[in-house]
Amino acid sequence: MNIKIDVNEKPGEYLVSVSGELDVYTAPELKQVFEPVGAAGEHDLIVDLSGLNYMDSTGLGIFVGTLKDLNKHNKELHVLGVNDRILKLFEITGLRDLMYVNKKSEVD
């Protein structure tokens, strides 16, 4: 299991690109990146998942916790480049209604 996380901070936003697999083994790495951003509440968080091949419920939990932290500071979570399989996870859990989620084809 591997994950690659790239971070790019810009004025007013924090861009995180994630590729590989997001599961119980790799989720702690992403959580370490998301937690300070959510807690500080200074930036909107934009997450590019166009390189992500797999995500399980642990990964979804990271997004839920981060969304809660960002909402406390009136900041937004945008998830971009989601493939159809991962999009289905956001839809069946109702998370697509709580955050901005765009399919890969909607971004390209």
**Residue range 11-58, pLDDT digits in tens:** 888 999 999 999 999 999 999 999 998 888 888 999 999 999 999 999
pTM for the model: 0.90
22: its two tokens: 């997001």
Predicted local confidence at residue 103, as pLDDT = 86
**Residue range 43-97, pLDDT digits in tens:** 899 999 999 999 999 999 999 999 999 999 999 999 999 999 999 999 999 999 9
Cα gap 73→58, rounded to integer Å: 24
pLDDT band at 10 (very low <50, low <70, confident <90, very high): confident
Predicted local confidence at residue 104, as pLDDT = 72
CATH code of the domain covering residue 87? 3.30.750.24
How many domains would you assign to the chain? 1
Expressed as residue numbers, the domain containing 18 is 3-107
Predicted local confidence at residue 39, as pLDDT = 85
Per-residue 3-state assignment (H helix, E strand, C coil) for 42-79? CCEEEEEEEEEEEECHHHHHHHHHHHHHHHHCCCCEEE
Cα gap 70→41, rounded to integer Å: 6
Cα gap 106→13, rounded to integer Å: 20
Q: Which helix (H) or strand (E) holds 88?
A: helix 84-92
Distance of CA 1 to the CA centre of its chain: 18
